[in-house]
Copies of this chain bind each other. A is one copy, B any other.
Amino acid sequence: MFYPTSLLTEMSRIFFEETGWEELADSLNKSDYSNVFVLTDKNTNRFCLPILEAKVNQSLTVLVMEAGEKHKHLHTCSQLWRELSELGADRNALLINLGGGVVTDLGGFVACAYKRGIDFINIPTTLLSMVDASVGGKTGVDLDQLKNQIGIIQEPSFVLVDPVFLKTLPENEFRSGYAEMLKHGLIQDRDYFERLSIYRYDIEHIGKSIYHSICIKSNVVAQDPTEKNLRKILNFGHTLGHAIESYFLDHMNYDRLLHGEAIAIGMIMESELSHKHSGLSSDDRNRIKEVFESIYPKIQLQADDISYIKELLRHDKKNRSGKIRFALLESIGKPVIDQVVSDEAIDDAIAYYLS
């Protein structure tokens, strides 16, 4: 399976596989960086850093953070800022973020705000961060239980995408990234959604699919970088999905639910909202549920869980003037934004998922 070696737009510079490694080497050779730092978490430090080190012929100063969503927090940023200061990092330092979305989102914010901004490069190592965090320039960390409450929008110098890192990825992480790819199909390309439902995460097709997903997202973001209009379609499944994700993050007695797994649930619920509110046919709605249920395990939610999730919904940063707005579907491949739905419709959507 072949696909292009780079995707260069006004907003983002993404290089794939060998072309990416060449770009990285070039950048390190040509640029007058005073120091090159690599941010890893405990997992990528073990599994991915050796791959990076084998490719880069230069001394790297490695920073390690704890792995997992609950460390995507301002406290972690403070620790890293302190560490960078102690290591003498100046404004001409470079930060390479090697990891999943937690590392790239948090590391991006750390770089943007350290001494008013140093260069950074993202090397996503999970499927989710390759297809989602690699484009759009969102950086951010959580504040208490509110996701991505703190952050800014800034593109990295470039992104290096290499599926080689997926070889050591656990299945639930793979499934999590796949949800965003399925979403790209749902909001822009019905055929792609159907192809993904057949390929599952067949490693032979994954490079090409990643490229296609990045193209879809990149195309949307380029048309609306600051999320005033079109970009909101990327939030399909995310309004309810984020609330569910926050809820699980906050109640650790449950097994951990990964971002994409929560978004998959959100997409089933929001396809029911779309059916009731924006004309999605029952065939399309049923097809969406069928595909997701074939990949993602069903989660049980009790009445208490549901009322807490609805409370979190009201804090979503996409709300405007107190109203919860959804990105929904008119049909598979055709999204519609800024949909305000009733409280009862939300209850029905949750019930539909549970049914």
Contacts and interface: CB of A to CB of B under 8 A. Distances in A.
Copies in the complex: 2
Given A85-B315, A143-B78, A144-B82, A152 B112 contact: yes
A317 interface: yes
A28 to B, nearest CB: 16
Interface residues of A, number: 36
A81 B319 contact: no
B115 A149 contact: yes
A321 interface: yes
Interface in A141-176: 143-144, 146, 148-153
Nearest to A314: B88
B34 A321 contact: yes
A140 interface: yes
A322 interface: yes
A114 interface: yes
A116 B85 contact: no
A60 interface: no
Nearest to A315: B85
A64 interface: no
A45 B205 CA distance: 61
Contact of A34 (B90, B149, B320): B320
B85 A149 contact: yes
A206 interface: no
A153 B117 contact: yes
A187 to B, nearest CB: 21
A94 to B, nearest CB: 13
A63 to B, nearest CB: 16
Of all A-B residue pairs in the complex, the 5 with the closest CB atoms, nearest first, are: A115-B317, A34-B321, A116-B151, A113-B150, A116-B153
12 contacts: A74-B78, A78-B143, A82-B143, A85-B144, A88-B322, A90-B317, A92-B320, A113-B150, A115-B148, A115-B317, A116-B138, A116-B139
Interface of A: 34, 74, 78, 81-82, 85, 88, 90-92, 109, 112-117, 138-140, 143-144, 146, 148-153, 315, 317-322
Given A116-B153, A152-B152, 17 more contacts: A34-B321, A74-B78, A78-B143, A81-B143, A82-B144, A85-B146, A85-B315, A91-B318, A91-B320, A112-B152, A114-B150, A115-B149, A115-B151, A116-B139, A116-B148, A116-B151, A117-B153
